[in-house]
Structure formats: structure tokens, C-alpha cells
Structure 1
Amino acid sequence: MADSDNTTTLPRVTRRRVLAIAANAKEGRQPGKLVCDHAEADQSADPAVAVWREWLIAHEEAERRCRLQQRLERNLVETVGFPCATIPLHDGTSVRFHSIQALNEVLGPGPEDEAARAKFKADLEAHQERWDVADREIGYSAALLAEGEAADQAENLLQLLLETPAASLAGVAAKLDAVLSEGEPAEASAEFPWLHIRSVLGDVIRIGQELVPEQMLPNRLGTSKSGRRGGCTIGVSKGGKGGAA
């Protein structure tokens, strides 16, 4: 988890929005109707929900960039292969190494080993050059860097969300949703504490809908056929039916 100091790297517009909403909440203003589109965020809404909206955008962007770099990496591996070289050993077998350090753990200081080491180094460098050329062509390293930056942004916003006091059940639901999204190892995991957190989130949504039937609460418990969690959805209303936001 990122340190709270890292939150200083967040966009200023995010902090201005959060501070303004927090000020309104402190003055005792009633939370307005929560909407999924963060661009329509009401300044009287729960500050935790405002941060959750920002985090959700960053979280989905990080996931998108992760899928992109994984696809590019598979492309590189299938067309070029991870940089490596194969060297014959004294017992007649051959071993594939991916670094000179690994090779040095096997070879000794003798002349034959030195010749083998020199050949391995040349082969490895040639393979690395092929990898680098293909990397530049498809943009894998750039995609990997962008993924890391997006993941850092999402992590910083998650830390800010955890540090932002919720002012309503919607804010509590937002925090629980983020915890599930970031921590749950598998969709609908039955392991502790994920099953229990989903139960608590369901309770919060149910109680929130009973108190204010028309409000919308951050809730990504519902899953599509593809298994991907959706965005902000309406909780179960008094009539027993739910709807998509």
C-alpha cells in the first residue's frame, strides 16, 4: 500500500473536489443523489464517494493498461522469446540460461569454461538485441512503464479513499467496494474475509436503499456473464427489484 505522502502526487482537481465536498459535509448539508458519472458529482455528495469515483476511473485504466502490456509481452515471447542462450555441459547435456550470473554458477574457471562463457555471452547479447528491436517496434517497454504509472495512480487514490471519512452509507459502500476490487483474489471468493465483506456490503446497500429508495450506491457486487464487475449500480429497492445505473 502506498504511503499517505504519495497522495501529494494526485491531480489538484481531485483534491479540490474532495476538499470542497468535505467542507460541505462538515457544514451539515445533506448528501445529494449519487450518480455514476463522476463529471456530474454534486458538491454536497459524500467526499468518500467522490474519491471512489476518481479511484474507479484510475483502477479501470490500470487494468486496461495491464491487459495491453500482457498482450504485447505474449507477442514478444511468441515471436522472439525471452533472451537466453543454450550451452553444452561437460556431461553431454545442454542447459538454457537467461543470464550470465546463472551461467557462472555452473561453469568453472578453466579454459574450456571460459570459451563456453564467451560464446554464451555473445549468443545472449544477440538474442537481447533481437528482443530490443521487437520491443521498440511494438512498444512493449513503453506500455509496461505506462501500466506502472497507472497502477501507482490507482494505488494513491485508494490510499486517499481509505483516509477520507465516509459521511453516509454510500461512502461506506464505496470503501468496501474498493477493498473487494483490490484485495479479492478471485471473483466471488468464499475465503475469509471476502465472503464476509461482501455480506457487509450487501447489508449496507440494503439498509441504504430502505432509508432512501431512490439513491444510488457504489456497488459492483453484480457480475456480468463475462465475470467482470460492472460499475455503479442501484441497490435493491423496497419493491425487491434492482436496476442498473
Structure 2
Amino acid sequence: MPKTTKASRRAAVAAAVRFLKGVPAEGAAADPLVGLWREWRRASAAVRRHGRTAQRLERELAARIGFPRVPIVTTDPDQPIVWVTELEQIDWILGKTAATEAQRQRLERELADVRARWNAEAAACGYTEAQEREAAAGRRAEDLLHTAAATPARSLAGVIAKLAVAAEWALSEPEADGHPWTFLSTALADLTAITNNSAPDHGA
């Protein structure tokens, strides 16, 4: 079996995109999968766009006020300072003993303060909104992904659209969990059904 490369997979996706852009997504003859493919591409583009915005704003915010974390000085010469971002980490590093109670309480207050400042600044600069938009677009793309996998194709264009979603998604998510195989199996079923429906009835 010939080995595919990422470049060859991208070329296959590009060819499918060029073909599908010329296929009508509306009208009586339209295959719903072509429309789903277009919706999924828009949602995926929104995920990337909002993700880039969120990353940029996070970098700017961290450069301005630092990440929401506090340092713990340890006796380990290889790691004299440990930065913690969760309350549970404080108890785990220092131990929940009477001897460390005052230090733990102080660190918990400091962590709560830096978290509160981070959340306030994140909301003010638009970082929180960018994260919410990215998450919403991600949920939309995921829903469309499942819908495309479950929707039967009515035409060869629909099969190409279904496989284009799977191929483009796999390029961006190399550790895709099962979906490419779901798409392949349903696309195979679609091709079989379309071929059977279009074949002449030799028994007539």
C-alpha cells in the first residue's frame, strides 16, 4: 500500500475543496452533506480565528501582570521554587499539617488575589470573551462533525463532502479519536447505496 504524506493529504483536501466549491448547496438536487461541509469549514475557521486571538491576548496579559500563580520556596536544591496555580497543589507540596497551616493560608490568600486580578483583567482586555467564542465555535464544529458522519450522502458529491470533512479534520487533529474510521465506514455505505440505486434492474 503506498504511503501517504501530509503534503499528499493536503493536496487531496485542496482538490476536494475546489470541486465542492462548484457544487450547489441549495435547491432540490442539492446534497445536504455539501451544505454541512461548508458549515463545518466556517465553524472550524472560527475556532482557529478565536484561538489565535485568545493566545495573543493571553500572551499580552501574562506579560503585563504575570500568570495567576504563587511561588513556594522548597528545600530541594534542584527545584528551590515551585510555582502553583491550584489550591490543591499548596496542600500537596507543603502537607496538611499544623506546622504549615499559617503558610498554607497565606499562600491560599495570595493565590486567590492573583486569580481575581487575572480574571478581572482577562475580562477587561477581551481574553475571556475570546475563550468563550473559541469554545462555542468548537462545540459547533464538533456537532457538525457528528452530523456529517451520520448523514447519508445522496450523491457522489455528498460522499466527497463527507470524506473532505474527515480528511481536513484529521489534518488539524492528528490524534482524532475514531471519527476518520466512522466517516470511512459511513462513506463506504453511502457509495454502496448510491451504486445500488443507480444500477439497472437486470431482473426486470
User: Is contact 1:46-1:171 (8 Å) kept?
Assistant: yes
Match of 1:141 in 2: 128
Structure 2 CA distance for partners of 1:37 and 1:137, relative to 1, 3 Å: farther
Instruction: Provide the rounded CA distance (Å) in 1 between the counterparts of 2:56 and 2:172.
Output: 21
The answer (yes or no) to whether the contact 1:38–1:50 under 8 Å persists in 2 is no
CA shift at 1:111, angstroms? 4.5
Q: Which of 120, 131, 156 is equivalent to 2:143?
A: 156
Residues 1:123 and 2:110 aligned together: yes
Per residue, is there more helix in 1 or in 2? 2
1:15-37 deviation per Cα after TM superposition (whole angstroms, max 9, x unaligned)? xxxxxxxxxxxxxxxxxxx8738
**May I ask how many residue pairs the two structures share in their alignment?**
159
Q: Is the 8 A contact 2:40 2:141 kept in 1?
A: yes
Equivalent pair of 1:38/1:54 in contact (CA under 8 Å): no
CA offset digits 1:173-226 (Å, max 9, x no partner): 111110012122579xxxxx89xx9xxxxxxxxxxxxxxxxxxxxxxxxxxxxx
Residue type of the alignment partner of 2:117:
R
- Asked if 1:75 is matched to 2:60, the reply is yes
Q: What is the TM-score when the length of structure 1 is the normalising length?
A: 0.55
Is the alpha carbon distance of 1:54 and 1:43 closer, same or farther for their aligned partners in structure 2, counting shifts above 3 Å? farther
> What does residue 56 of structure 1 align with?
41
1:119, 1:175 → 2: CA distance?
Answer: 56
Q: State the superposition RMSD in angstroms.
A: 3.2
**CA distance 1:121–1:38, change in 2 (3 Å):** farther
Q: Sequence identity of aligned pairs in percent?
A: 34
Partner residue, 1:95: 82
The structural deviation recorded for 1:104 is 0.6
* Code of the aligned partner of 1:133: A
Bigger RCO (CA 8 Å, 6+ sep) = 2
Unaligned ranges ≥5, structure 2: 1-18, 175-179, 185-204
What TM-score, normalized by structure 2, do the two folds share? 0.65
Residue 177 (structure 1) aligned with residue 164 (structure 2): yes
Partner of 2:66, secondary structure, is: coil
Q: Which runs of 5+ in 1 are unaligned?
A: 1-33, 188-192, 198-245
What does residue 47 of structure 1 align with?
32
Separation in structure 2 between the aligned mates of residue 56 and residue 143 of structure 1, nearest angstrom: 19
Tell me: CA distance 1:44–1:57, structure 2 relative to 1, closer, same or farther (3 Å): same
